Structure 1
């Protein structure tokens, strides 16, 4: 029987890489995204819905539709935004709340509405996208780091709460991922630190033992593994896919 996966923010970036990887693994792929233009570019055999991951009405409608069409085997709660890059005293409260809403509320709402479908089947895999910012402090990224630490707390609780129903929960912590979102972070951090973009890029790479950024496919491959039977007893884990971060704020 074909398995079904839902990926939030699945039309581009890491989410798109996840969707492509699950598709290649034979899953029935459902994605949500707030970007209507990006949704138009996805393969026609995916089920694609415009939805705000932090809006409960939007997400409830998606899961209600899934309930009528066979349920859900794997959830990738992947929606997130970088948030502001600024010293804590310069972070506007509205920017703080926006970052927390998408990164944390989005993960919570996805898990909340996935749980009944998975409980009915007495199986499932919940995969939350956290970040290495959820394992270390990151100067000038206080809203993002706070949200991503909270995502890990949510995951640990889900693993305990849902485990008796045969449902696993894990968090993937990407490091610096090549792509447009990270490019924006590099530019803003360079301005905040009085450095060039290339200096900040080199600093992030030098902060890993492997000396490089990761790609969306690296995150996607881990997600497919965590959803598979090969990971049937892996739950409650924080798994970094980051080239091994050894210094989260390198000075070069």
Structure 2
């Protein structure tokens, strides 16, 4: 039974990951910036309200994990925000920095404090949530795309640096995922492009060879696999769970 930490696990992909690991019999510890989201989680899950970009809070979290569990087997570095949807000339530096901070620095801090626990055990798996935006450019999504490309570089470095200690690192790149967060993206993108929400949705869906959005459980299933011994020699990989994205936005 593995000890698994999922950041931003109060809803969406993170919650699906927690449910997947719990269903497979593992212990789960979920963080989220929203205490309200954590209050709605199943009984028996450990939870901590923490901002993924707050180093003092993250450091305290991992100290608590060490005291409570004695170590950590799997880190799902999942914290992220969509950021602004706007032309590059209309993006405020403050909004850019916030998006990059949550998506990139949040991953960095989680890995920074997870690494010593995993090194002590000479084993571990770090699963980073990126996006197909980390593989393709998306018009009007500069901060998000930049951060999601960056976490892939971070993961590649972690795989090389931590591999000698028996620690694996991989990235999952979700495509368009059904749910409230993607609905917000669709609405903002539609407004930015002068299109309807349904037109933007159709553009995303038709850009995949399977012609559909994915579900959060599809991402969770891959995370559980990457955290398991079945993937014991899978490291440094960028794995898209997206129905095969051929052209992310053909209507642009």
TM-score with structure 2 setting the length: 0.99
**How far 1:23 moved relative to its partner?**
0.1
**How far 1:10 moved relative to its partner?**
0.4
1:68 alignment partner, SS class: helix
In 2, the alpha carbon distance for the partners of 1:211 and 1:248 equals: 11
1:85-118 deviations in Å (ceiling 9; x for gaps): 0000000100000000000000000000000000
1:197-245 deviations in Å (ceiling 9; x for gaps): 0000010000000000000000000000000000000000000000000
In 1, the alpha carbon distance for the partners of 2:140 and 2:249 equals: 10
What is the Cα-based RMSD across aligned positions, in Å? 0.7
Question: Are residues 1:44 and 2:27 paired?
Answer: no
In 2, the alpha carbon distance for the partners of 1:251 and 1:189 equals: 12
Alignment-derived partner of residue 243 in structure 1:
243
Alignment-derived partner of residue 4 in structure 1:
3
In 1, the alpha carbon distance for the partners of 2:50 and 2:239 equals: 27
Structure 1 runs of 4+ aligned residues shifted over 6 Å read none
Structure 2 stretches of 5 or more lacking a match?
A: none
1:106-159 deviations in Å (ceiling 9; x for gaps): 000000000000000000000000000000111000000000000000000000
Alignment-derived partner of residue 27 in structure 1:
26
**1:49-198 equivalence runs, <5 A:** 49-69=48-68, 70-198=70-198
How many residues get paired?
251
2:118 alignment partner, SS class: helix
2:29 alignment partner, SS class: strand
TM-score with structure 1 setting the length: 0.99
In 2, the alpha carbon distance for the partners of 1:58 and 1:138 equals: 33
In 2, the alpha carbon distance for the partners of 1:180 and 1:104 equals: 22
In 2, the alpha carbon distance for the partners of 1:67 and 1:36 equals: 22
**1:197-216 equivalence runs, <5 A:** 197-216=197-216
In 2, the alpha carbon distance for the partners of 1:51 and 1:99 equals: 17
1:45-72 deviations in Å (ceiling 9; x for gaps): 0001000011111111110011112210
Question: Are residues 1:233 and 2:233 paired?
Answer: yes
In 2, the alpha carbon distance for the partners of 1:3 and 1:13 equals: 22
